Chain A
């Protein structure tokens, strides 16, 4: 691991940092105030450190996670602060009790999804490299298991939502499908049995058992 220093610009600040540092480490070490755009700080699971990165000599801007991306010389970085969709899709999972209605429900809550223009903006935006556009297509066509799998590793950074010209909110659509599937179909048998044993009073806990030297009878 080389510890040569490189210079880059983060949020308009000239920053010099060792090449082993992540963007967020470099920013904080340079004295930048870090009170937002950070959460898990390195695990890459909260999505709060999303940022736009332009690399030296490149015109394209890419979307990355500042806590996972190592610094490079000549990088320009701007955090994508605080983003929430304006008109959140509203639904109440409790009212979705009939699995036969899932296609209607998807269309009702995410009516824009069928207008996907296949621009690929969401795919390019996703720092996790998920097939977001495919996931939207699967959900619209009713292939809910496939949609569920596409969004399995989604960290809800909302970058695809930000990128989508049709205001589809792909990650929220994906999460809706995932939640609906679990709520409607996950019925593990031993969990159901155990709940019945507890709720009927058949199973309880004897706290004095740990005081007896022989432990469990």
Chain B
């Protein structure tokens, strides 16, 4: 490994002109030898559930095969609310579903773990894909996405999303979301387009480099002002409700504020709980928000939904590596889209910066593994050469890479003068709950949208396709769910499905004292059993 000072001196001497290493192995070899999915914990077959036998990332498998957090006695006598549609999760996918269902006349209850909008969505920077350019087409969008995902995606989901793209953008504009235009001409002008890694045409639409913030504040306000939507903040779902036919008929929420459970009975339940970065798989830091603890995956699997590609996660190439306390924070792909280069400790480039993310991340890990990385105060990474970009495009930090400048300031780095040290960060859950084109799962009554779902991005997601995914499928799931609004409620709603689940765990020899979902990361110092004084698990629990 190369110490920071000499590496920096080499970088400076080269003045932006770096030789490219010529020894890159073929992609399959590179991924096999260096991608965390391959070299981290070896995938294990799931022992219980509908996907028994399917290979799964081991730490995720451990979460999926947990016992429920609660038992019948804990929710006996809990308040029950009724709604047509229950949406779980207050990110972009949940809001899109809620707004669409409410617009169709359904009564919607949206429950979320933190506050409405605290999500991965609000953190998205780079932008959203939609094939609007004359040099582009939904066909290209489909093909690029399918290929970037290593042909593992459901083609029909990808094709539908690509065709939905332009309408998703119109929907967002109607709600009041702004997008950057060329020459600042809103009416009759052109949208500013950037090329995402792995694409054959410029297709990323954005608002500055905080597209998710612009999207989320608009969606949040629209949801908060809608009379047909009731929002319950600080109310994580800790279990789903089932009826005696195995359908999903609502959820058990835990009010963090009032320390009690609330049962919500619904005609349809839309799970939009996002991703799992806060599981810190393979010990990696993460770019994700605090609530990304895979709760939705765990709950959906337990009630019988199918999962897919559970051994495939995305590590974003450019997480912050130094200083340590900011490790994992994201530097948007926008920096590389604009032309920033990756440089190793020898002052060489080693990969085309806009290759698909799994390739670029693996290439960085290879440089570090083979001793060409840079170390500083015990942190390892490679350089992202922002200074050369600033020399080429003066003003870019003020107008385009605003979030990057903000992050650099926190790192106490002047990005115009000094490169940033970067290392891959756990970023996105490629797989998830299997869905159809309307977000419906194998479990009647349960729909899934957004990062919790799978099948759209295959084994590698392109930049900008997650934001499109949540709007495209969020709207479709909301509309589909709203169709059920005249159906009668299930006569019985309980957590009967967990008893069958517990039997399966016991049969497989798995412990019953490992509980899930996690709800908050371990450093949140939260334990549901003591916080709620669970009757099922504390001796004096009932004496409250």
Contacts and interface: CB of A to CB of B under 8 A. Distances in A.
A182 B257 CA distance: 37
A182 B407 CA distance: 28
B176 A180 contact: yes
Nearest to A31: B525
A21 interface: yes
B119 interface: yes
B118 interface: yes
Output the residue of B138, B158, B176, B330 with the most chain A CB within 10 A: B176
B290 A183 contact: no
Output the residue of B122, B208, B217, B291 with the most chain A CB within 10 A: B217
B475 interface: no
B79 interface: no
Nearest to A215: B143
B524 A206 contact: no
B523 A29 contact: yes
B186 A48 contact: no
A106 interface: no
A89 to B, nearest CB: 8
A30 to B, nearest CB: 9
Nearest to A83: B115
Secondary structure call for the A interface = loop
Contacts of A152: 208
A186 B189 CA distance: 9
B221 A42 contact: no
B176 A194 contact: no
A45 B330 CA distance: 12
A204 interface: yes
Contact of B190 (A189, A207, A216): A189
B272 to A, nearest CB: 16
Interface string A91-135: 111100000000000000000000000000000000000000000
B169 A191 contact: yes
A74 interface: no
A178 B186 contact: no
A39 B526 contact: no
- A: interface residue count bin: 35 or more
Interface in B332-380: 377
A209 B325 contact: no
B324 A189 contact: no
B119 A39 contact: yes
A39 B170 CA distance: 28
A199 B133 CA distance: 16
B217 A186 contact: no
Interface string B407-451: 100100000000000000000000000000000000000000000
Interface stretch (B30-38, B51-59, B63-71, B159-167): B159-167
A48 B187 contact: no
Contact of B178 (A22, A33, A40, A181): A181
Contacts of A180: 176
B191 interface: yes
Interface in B100-147: 114-115, 117-119, 122-123, 130-134, 137-140, 142-143, 146-147
B186 A207 contact: no
Contacts of B114: 36, 38-39, 48
Given A39-B115, A45-B210, A187-B187, A210 B147 contact: yes
Contacts of A141: none
Contacts of B289: 39-41, 46
Interface in A40-60: 40-46, 48
Contacts of B402: 153
Nearest to A81: B257
Contacts of A68: 410
A183 B173 contact: yes
Contact of A183 (B151, B174, B326, B410): B174
Interface string A182-217: 110111111101110010000111110110000110
B213 interface: yes
B224 interface: yes
B525 A203 contact: no
A204 B163 contact: yes
Contact of B166 (A91, A92, A179, A191): A191
A40 B119 CA distance: 7
Contacts of B139: 203, 205-206, 209, 216
Contacts of A194: 131-132, 166
Given A20-B325, A188-B132, A206-B139, A32 B525 contact: yes
A198 B163 contact: yes
Contact of A34 (B158, B166, B524): B524
Given A43-B329, A179-B175, A186-B173, A209 B115 contact: no
Contacts of A187: 186-188
Nearest to A148: B178
Given A35-B524, A39-B289, A198-B167, A91 B225 contact: yes
Contact of A207 (B118, B156, B222, B324): B156
A45 B181 contact: no
Output the residue of A31, A44, A90, A190 with the most chain B CB within 10 A: A190
Contacts of B123: 40, 43, 45-46
Contacts of A172: 221
Given A36-B114, A154-B217, A182-B178, A191 B132 contact: yes
Contact of A25 (B130, B162, B325, B406): B325
A195 B169 CA distance: 10
B325 A22 contact: yes
B243 interface: no
Contacts of B537: none
A35 B159 contact: no
A41 B143 contact: no
Nearest to B143: A210
25 contacts: A20-B325, A39-B115, A40-B122, A40-B123, A45-B210, A46-B119, A48-B118, A89-B225, A91-B225, A93-B175, A148-B178, A155-B213, A175-B176, A180-B176, A183-B174, A185-B187, A187-B186, A188-B132, A190-B190, A191-B130, A194-B132, A195-B170, A198-B163, A206-B139, A216-B140
Given A90-B225, A181-B176, A190-B134, 7 more contacts: A33-B524, A94-B174, A148-B178, A179-B176, A185-B186, A190-B191, A191-B166
Q: Would you list the 4 A-B pairs with minimal beta carbon distance, nearest first?
A: A179-B176, A39-B118, A205-B159, A207-B155
